[in-house]
């Protein structure tokens, strides 16, 4: 499959500094997004440190800086465990930085990362930034928000409509850097040609509805232009927070004209050679 992507970030229409951070690493098909928190406590430092740590750790071909964690769910891939380890390392570094620099006390970050290998998507997630999957015209949220209102909705205390208007939307139950250790949600999904993924900070989801997100993705097939349009839509709807969006399009791999001349379904030990001359 062919992976195309684009990303955009904006300070929004109210804030004066952008505490969001994202990185796209095409050689790895790795996508990382963080939303800092702490305001004057340097939320932008936390988000940048989170993204930098995860990207650097995943780029390290010699192994992670920490041991790969075990996961009791069967079938958890090495990529998923590697991502979990990198995010846990980011948590430790943010927490340690806040300890060493008193002015950073209270800083933290959400983090959502997607790593694609072949048709396998691995997701690592802490906080209320999200990953969406658009498939066959239907938009599905792949991550669960680690926020107070989301937990209240899951327990039936609040309705989804009440949660949208709650003053407690910004209260997180889990974030990077606030505690020495953190639980990381890990998901694995099989991707198909035609799928579209969206990673976004809550600056998008508080300003733009799920149907609006789906409509934008369906009307704009180019990932970079789709990301730009979603950011612009968030700002048009008020832009109350920093907004960051990564759009990833999964497409069938393009075959060159030469590929049609090559023999198909060859295997070692069968008729023909495993390699050509």
What is the C-alpha to C-alpha distance for residues 49 and 168, in angstroms, rounded to an integer? Answer: 26
- Give per-residue pLDDT as tens, 208-257: 999 999 999 999 999 999 999 999 999 999 999 999 999 999 999 876 55
Q: Which domain holds residue 34?
A: 2-253
Q: What is the pTM of this model?
A: 0.87
What is the number of domains present in the chain? 1
Give the CATH number of the domain where residue 145 resides. Answer: 3.60.40.10
What's the confidence (pLDDT) of residue 150?
Answer: 82
Quote the Cα angle for 197-181-145, to 5°.
35
Identify whether 22 is part of a domain.
Answer: yes
Q: Label residue 67 by pLDDT band (50, 70, 90).
A: low
* 27 occurs within a structural domain: yes
Q: How far apart are CA 18 and CA 36, in angstroms?
A: 9
Q: Does residue 9 sit within a domain?
A: yes
Tell me if 219 is assigned to some domain.
yes
List, for residues 117-156, the tens digit of each pLDDT value.
999 999 999 999 999 999 999 999 999 999 888 888 888 8
Is 268 a domain residue?
Answer: no
How are beta strands 20-25 and 130-135 bridged, if at all? unpaired
Residue 37 located in a structural domain: yes
CA distance 277 to 8: 46
Euclidean distance between CA atoms 118 and 275, whole angstroms: 22
Residue predicted with more confidence, 4 or 267:
4
The answer to whether position 276 is within a domain reads no
Residue 98 covered by a domain: yes
């Amino acid at each position: 499959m062919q992976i195309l992507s684009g990303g955009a970030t904006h300070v929004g229409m109210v804030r004066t500094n952008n505490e969001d951070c994202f990185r796209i690493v095409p050689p790895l098909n790795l996508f990382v997004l963080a939303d800092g928190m702490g305001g004057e406590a340097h939320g932008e430092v936390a988000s940048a440190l989170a993204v930098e740590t995860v990207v650097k750790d995943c780029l390290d071909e010699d192994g992670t800086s920490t041991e790969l964690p075990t996961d009791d769910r069967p079938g958890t891939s090495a990529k998923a465990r590697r991502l979990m380890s990198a995010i846990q390392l980011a948590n430790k570094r943010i927490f340690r930085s806040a300890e060493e620099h008193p002015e950073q006390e209270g800083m933290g970050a959400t983090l959502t990362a997607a790593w694609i290998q072949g048709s396998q998507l691995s997701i690592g997630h802490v906080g209320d930034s999200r990953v969406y999957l658009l498939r066959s015209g239907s938009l599905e949220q792949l991550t669960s928000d680690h926020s107070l209102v989301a937990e209240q909705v899951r327990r039936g205390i609040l309705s989804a409509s009440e949660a949208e208007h709650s003053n407690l939307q910004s209260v997180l139950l889990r974030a990077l850097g606030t505690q020495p250790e953190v639980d990381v949600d890990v998901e694995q999904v099989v991707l198909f040609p035609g799928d579209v993924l969206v990673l976004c900070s809550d600056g998008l989801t508080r300003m733009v509805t799920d149907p609006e997100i789906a409509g934008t993705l369906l009307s704009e097939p180019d990932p970079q232009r789709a990301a730009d349009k979603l950011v612009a839509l968030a700002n048009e709807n008020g832009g109350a927070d920093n907004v960051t969006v990564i759009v990833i399009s999964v497409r069938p791999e393009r075959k060159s004209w030469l590929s049609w001349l090559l023999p198909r379904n060859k295997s070692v030990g069968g008729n023909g050679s495993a390699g050509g001359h």
